[in-house]
Amino acid sequence: MSSLSSCAEAFEAELSLVRGLSPRTVEAYGRDVRAFLAFLAARGKTTPQSLERADVADHVGKLRGAGRKASTRARAFVAVREFLAFLKERRETERDLSEGLDSPKRELVLPRVLDEGTTLKILQSADGDDPRSLRDRAMLELLYGCGLRVSELCSLELQDVVADAEVVRCRGKGEKERIVPMGVPAAKALVRYLESARDVFARGNASERCIFLTRLGRPFTRMGVFKMLRERAAAAGVDPHAVSPHVLRHCFATDLLAHGADIRAIQEMLGHSSIGTTQMYTHVDAARIGTVHRTYHPRADFAQ
């Protein structure tokens, strides 16, 4: 008879090795499942066979009673649901004990975005011809022009880019690959960097395949990209705390939507597995429309 703790370890291994989820996602799922096991242990339940459907419902209810945010409760529910489905697949339980339970509703939190003029200011803050400016401009153009995640930007390698075709191949969550168009400005900025500056940062190391390198010749880290972006934002007169690589990814999506792009095309370019994730940008665009109306329409003050 398996213990719940050993099943939880096997579950985390499957998330990492079989499903290919990121370490951060596996860690979050594991944390939520361990909280569930602690709740069960307090009830004297340590094996899958001892579980009842009421245990799951009571655990979700306890999260709600603790005053946690809806997004936190929803994430914990998903983790527990996946764990229970895993137990059923391994025949540790006779049925999936989460079936029929409603997931806590997530609060709609609109992503932070910049207006197009502000985004352009940040891009133009790296307008020089020196190696660092060429590198930073290419990085900024790809973040905004392709909607890349910061991890995707850091992992880009030389063979991932077809500059003439203006496309880039990136590896997203779960190591899923996708092809994203760059656009002319991003492609030009990248070609200038590769032709005139990358060798300076590579420091003669022909075996290094990552595209974007630091002054020490090492691939960029997430924090290194954050630091570069915020320095460029400050130089452009933009509050550095209002920007991040993910804000530029949000700007990519909302600006495409504002200019008439199809929502499913945006989903493909962002690498979202679900159209529901992409649809949050329709709310952002609606909010922008409302702001424009309230600002410029002569009778907006009379709207009910």
Choosing from 53, 246, 283, 288, the catalytic residue is 246
Catalytic one among 149, 198, 230, 250?
A: 149
Domain with CATH 1.10.443.10 in the chain: 116-294
- The answer to whether residue 149 is catalytic is yes
Q: Is 121 a catalytic residue?
A: no
Q: Is 137 marked active-site? A: no
Topology at the third CATH level for domain 4-89: DNA polymerase; domain 1 (1.10.150)
Question: What are the residue ranges of CATH 1.10.150.130 in the chain?
Answer: 4-89
State the pTM of this model.
0.65
Q: Which one from 29, 144, 193, 281 is the annotated catalytic residue?
A: 281
How many beta carbons lie within 10 A of that of residue 242, not counting itself?
A: 13
Q: Check: CATH 3.30.1370.60 for 116-294?
A: no
Is 59 a residue of the active site?
A: no
Active-site residue, 272 included: yes
| Region of poorest pLDDT, from 7-11, 170-174, 259-263 | 170-174
Find the catalytic residue in 73, 232, 250, 272: 272
* Residue range 73-101, pLDDT digits in tens: 788 888 888 898 888 888 888 888 877 67
Q: Which of 59, 75, 232, 249 is catalytic?
A: 249
**62 catalytic per annotation:** no
Residues 197, 187: contact at Cβ < 8 Å?
A: no
Most confidently modeled of 7-16, 129-138, 168-177? 129-138
> Considering 173, 188, 192, 218, which one is annotated as catalytic?
173
Alpha-carbon separation of residue 6 from 33, 110, 135, 151, 199 (angstroms) = 12, 39, 48, 31, 50
Task: Compute the C-alpha angle 104/70/99, nearest 5°.
Answer: 20
**pLDDT tens figures, 170-204:** 887 767 788 888 888 999 999 999 999 999 999 98
